[in-house]
Amino acid sequence: MAKSKVGKKTVKARSENVAAIHMIDLIRKKRDGVELDARELACIASGAARESIPAEQLAAWLMAAWIRGLSLQETRALTLAMRDSGEKFDPKPLRKTAVDKHSTGGVGDKTSFLVAPLAAACGVAVPMISGRALGHTGGTLDKLESIPGYRTELTLAKFERVLKRCGASIVSQTPKLVPADRVLYALRDRTGTVENSGLICASILSKKLAAGLNALVLDVKTGSGAFLKKREDAEYLAALMVATAEAAGTRTAALLTDMSQPLGRAAGNWIEIAECVALLRGERPAGCEDLRELSLQLAGWMIHLGGKATTPARGYQLAEAALVDGTGLARFLKMVDAQGGDIRVFDDPQKFHRPRATRVVPAWTSGYVAAMDTTALGWAVQRLGAGREKAGEPVDPHAGIVFHVKRGERVKRGASFATLYATSAKLLDEPEHLIRDAIQWSAEAPPAVPLISRVFTRSEAESHLAAATARD
């Protein structure tokens, strides 16, 4: 096989007569707004996966792609190349329909811990490849690793064994499984290149398609805590992901959901897991109605697309029954145990929560909470120690924020607004200021925002993209 140069290192070109590809040319092309072809994008994905392209060149290309954007063709080609950058999971031996859910990222966004066991309890297999904290948002894997012993990096053989036993397994990309996303995801986090529809689509779908899914439900966030805050950008992302996944053979639906405030009450690592376990136990904690409702809606769609319910509404009923009768909780505990986690911590989740520093922030004014800058709230959570400053750093499992007030609620000055948990007392001040600056107050109740504002299936996605292309 011929070898071509990428940067200073070499990557293998596909055949003897393929012209050499130089990374510097791909950076300059993207910088100048020239569309890259599938072979060029495959070189970037495989060079990222094998770490044969220097980080500074990948970072420069990512920034050029962020500024110039990726065309529909580029997005599809990059998605497939990233999917193919490593091993793939084959769900056929599970003898069940493989269905998953993925969110575009938010604050307190923890529905995975509810939908995976609930959908599994209703008869579909959920092979979930997830990510770590990205930008201002928390990471599913970081949250799971707050459970002592829980292992997120499994071999494909072990992944299959857990899925056969429990119906659901939540794991990370590895040096073998979607390695291109592992490298590019961490680099995007450090270079301010997260908020781009093509890059988000390729990152999410490469992981989902490598899991060999039959069906997929996407939770596309819109509002102040989403990566793409404007509704029209979130709609475009939803349509782009549905059309790209469908073209790759996976039945897909996307729900456009509200991220104008944290989901539920808790945002952090362990405190988010504990909140989900309370819901799985059938509790109805105040302020978690949105989390419960969204999780049941997403699970309902998973169960429907997985062929276990004739409609998403029937899927919702089945998911709710599994929540109420405790089969969802049993699945969750079985999965945690199978992945090495110590389930004794769930005997008393409050006792296990051992933050080094705590501060209650009282409301600094009276009135209705009219709006929240949820991205700033997400940064406050990360700076308490729940997220990383640098790639590879450990996160504090016990850091985070519990919000006692939701958007639209009326509060009296002096009442508890939020409780902060930090790695050390010196980390408490900046997040408190971030919270104070992030809240807008009003004398009247603000208008309600729907939790789910739109659903895209294949036909809506294709017509939305066709209309967007015609406008450009």
Q: Which stretches of the chain bind ligand URA, using CB under 6 A?
A: 104-105, 131, 134, 194, 200, 203-204
Q: Alpha carbon of 430 to those of 9, 159, 380, 425: distances in Å?
A: 43, 40, 7, 11
Taking alpha carbons only, the member of 398, 333, 405 closest to residue 367 is 405
Q: Which is nearer to ligand URA, 134 or 369 (CB)?
A: 134
If you search the block for the tokens 């997040």, which residue do you land on? 431
Taking alpha carbons only, the member of 193, 199, 292 closest to residue 240 is 199
Q: Which is nearer to ligand URA, 102 or 331 (CB)?
A: 102
Q: Which is nearer to ligand URA, 150 or 227 (CB)?
A: 227
Taking alpha carbons only, the member of 461, 55, 6, 471 closest to residue 235 is 461
Residue pair 136/375 in contact (Cβ under 8 Å)? The answer is yes
Provide the annotated active-site residues: 102, 181, 188, 203, 207
The minimum distance between CB 162 and ligand URA, in angstroms, equals: 21
User: Positive or negative, the Cα torsion across 324, 131, 263, 336?
Assistant: positive
Sequence-separated (6 or more) residues with CB below 8 Å from residue 143: 110, 113, 269, 270, 272, 273
Q: Which is nearer to ligand URA, 207 or 398 (CB)?
A: 207
Both structure tokens of 55: 């980080």
With CB atoms as reference, the residue minimizing the distance to ligand URA is 203
Q: Which is nearer to ligand URA, 128 or 147 (CB)?
A: 128
Residue 165: strand, helix, or coil: helix
- φ, ψ for residue 434, nearest 5 deg: -60, -40
Q: Please tell me the distance from the alpha carbon of residue 319 to that of residue 408, in angstroms, as a whole number.
A: 28
Q: Which is nearer to ligand URA, 86 or 105 (CB)?
A: 105
Taking alpha carbons only, the member of 317, 163, 324, 328 closest to residue 309 is 317
How would DSSP label each residue in 264-285? SSEEESHHHHHHHHHHHTT---
Residue 224: which region, alpha, beta or left (left: phi > 0; alpha: psi -120 to 50)? alpha
The minimum distance between CB 129 and ligand URA, in angstroms, equals: 9
Residue pair 398/356 in contact (Cβ under 8 Å)? The answer is yes
Q: Please tell me the distance from the alpha carbon of residue 201 to that of residue 223, in angstroms, as a whole number.
A: 18
Q: Please tell me the distance from the alpha carbon of residue 40 to that of residue 14, in angstroms, as a whole number.
A: 11
Q: Which is nearer to ligand URA, 131 or 397 (CB)?
A: 131
Residue pair 282/102 in contact (Cβ under 8 Å)? The answer is no
Residue pair 410/446 in contact (Cβ under 8 Å)? The answer is no
Taking alpha carbons only, the member of 140, 150, 133, 209 closest to residue 177 is 209
Q: Which is nearer to ligand URA, 85 or 423 (CB)?
A: 85
The minimum distance between CB 135 and ligand URA, in angstroms, equals: 8
The minimum distance between CB 140 and ligand URA, in angstroms, equals: 9
Q: Which is nearer to ligand URA, 200 or 277 (CB)?
A: 200
The minimum distance between CB 208 and ligand URA, in angstroms, equals: 9
Burial (0-12, 13-18, 19+ Cβ within 10 Å), 310: exposed
Taking alpha carbons only, the member of 402, 270, 281 closest to residue 349 is 270
The minimum distance between CB 170 and ligand URA, in angstroms, equals: 13
